[in-house]
Chains A and B, each alone.
Chain A
């Protein structure tokens, strides 16, 4: 056992330190179960940004370019309906938002604002596609997780719609 630990320690030394970004990536469900060397590859395409309180991360309908992972702080997602801003979600540390823009060039569906001073990690769509091209195995793992997330959201929305239809039928 001691030998294996020593070997792991040597490997870690060769691979380099984890730095500030990899520990955050480990907490994100999208990158769950990925090896250190895979996370290192993702680290290379991640952009660190800091937003001040009330600073807009992106506007609703703005052309989307990628997703954000919250390293520290809180992001408020709002939608404008009949001229009024309605908060639809609050996203905290270790969570991510804007992931739909990772898959397609479509306008943002909501506005994201920093509720407090917030540090985020941005992942840009073309960089991710480039990573997938270079590392198809790693790419398929990330895309699988992303698909699972979108699929569960779709299932949730279908359930909600079904409940709505059922309640309308009872009335």
Chain B
């Protein structure tokens, strides 16, 4: 075999080997995904806080001191937010729990009537099949509503995870650069510069996306609370906060927010008009977000076709639930930019 042919074959083998290593790493991550949640949260928070720490460091504040100060300030901010909003949320939840059984019963009666009529009109549907299926669905939904009552427990668990996460955040912020250096030290000389470029591009993609989406979600949440409150809709804080939070996930979040708000109001008041009013207010806030907020805050960080975004989010949700959905788009963008850099190095330039 000629030397050139051997070199070509060796290169192909190298590419396959790198691909196998990457796939293996992904498989390991998939297998240990249950343990990843606190690290994913810490990862997201680090991306959010690092510009503030960098700014403080630039102003002459010691980095470790800046991180500790920022974590303490975050705690104080969350504590104040908790003190201010929790009583209202608690009142909203208990009022909802009190009203819900009455209105779900009312909705169930109406739906059962409609099903009966449908079964009667469409002769091919056996009597009682649709009614039974619907009753089962409503049963699942109302039993699921009991979970709203255990929100306190969920919040408590969240606080514990949050405190643990803060420890990881502290080390990510303080030693992030050292961790990066250690990782890069294992890269062979041949791929050193390509890897550094990749690392930087991926970091940029993820950090821009996370900062943009979270800031946007916060603004949307606040606007939704104000708009719902002004419109006189019950549970304004609860619905607005959820609408803001789910806004982190593109497209899917929008639908979830509308459905959640509409259903909550429908169950609470039993009025379709009220439910539509709530959806209308949320749609108005979303429109405002699309026209004025998102272009400024998120910018063009995600230049991906909407259909691709939906596919990627669905896949992310399948692999790692909500966090999978949150991180799927930036990870997809990172993979895209990686392929572009590898293509540039390998195909256009020919050596990397």
Most buried by B among A55, A59, A66, A124: A124
A49 and B190 alpha carbons, distance in the complex (Å): 11
Confirm or deny: A73 has a beta carbon within 8 angstroms of a beta carbon on chain B.
Answer: no
Confirm or deny: A31 has a beta carbon within 8 angstroms of a beta carbon on chain B.
Answer: no
Give residues 38-97 of A contacting B (CB, 8 Å): 44-45, 47-51, 55-59, 61-66
Contact, CB under 8 Å: A49 / B189? yes
| B contact residues, total (Cβ < 8 Å) | 21
A134-B57, A135-B57 are known contacts. Are A62 and B193 too (CB-CB below 8 A)? yes
Partner of A63, one of B54, B177, B181, B344: B344
Interface pairs (26), CB distance under 8 Å: A44-B178, A47-B184, A47-B185, A47-B192, A49-B189, A49-B192, A51-B189, A56-B190, A57-B189, A61-B349, A62-B345, A62-B351, A63-B197, A63-B344, A63-B349, A64-B193, A65-B196, A65-B197, A66-B196, A122-B192, A126-B200, A130-B54, A133-B54, A133-B58, A134-B55, A135-B57
Q: Which residues from A are CB-within-8-Å of B196?
A: 47, 65-66, 124
Confirm or deny: A23 has a beta carbon within 8 angstroms of a beta carbon on chain B.
Answer: no
A66 and B192 alpha carbons, distance in the complex (Å): 11
Confirm or deny: A136 has a beta carbon within 8 angstroms of a beta carbon on chain B.
Answer: yes
A56 and B193 alpha carbons, distance in the complex (Å): 12
A66 and B189 alpha carbons, distance in the complex (Å): 14
Q: How many A-B residue pairs have CB under 8 A?
A: 50
Shortest distance from the beta carbon of A115 to any chain B beta carbon, whole Å = 15
Shortest distance from the beta carbon of B136 to any chain A beta carbon, whole Å = 56
Residue of B nearest to A135 (CB): B58
Contact, CB under 8 Å: B192 / A136? no
A62-B193, A63-B345 are known contacts. Are A48 and B57 too (CB-CB below 8 A)? no
Contact, CB under 8 Å: B197 / A55? no
Q: What does the 1/0 interface line of A113-153 toward B look like (CB < 8 Å)? A: 00000000010101000100111100000000000000000
A62-B351, A135-B57 are known contacts. Are A45 and B177 too (CB-CB below 8 A)? yes
Shortest distance from the beta carbon of B287 to any chain A beta carbon, whole Å = 35
Residue of A nearest to B55 (CB): A134
Q: What does the 1/0 interface line of B175-212 toward A look like (CB < 8 Å)? A: 00110010011000110110011001000000000000
Partner of A55, one of B55, B185, B189, B345: B189
Q: What does the 1/0 interface line of B327-352 toward A look like (CB < 8 Å)? A: 00000000000000000110001011
Contact, CB under 8 Å: A66 / B193? yes
Apart from A47-B192, A49-B192, A61-B349, list 6 A-B contacts with CB within 8 A: A62-B351, A63-B344, A63-B345, A63-B349, A133-B54, A136-B58
Partner of B58, one of A51, A55, A126, A134: A134
Contact, CB under 8 Å: B54 / A134? yes
Q: Which residues from B are CB-within-8-Å of A63?
A: 193, 197, 344-345, 349
Q: Which residues from B are CB-within-8-Å of A49?
A: 189, 192
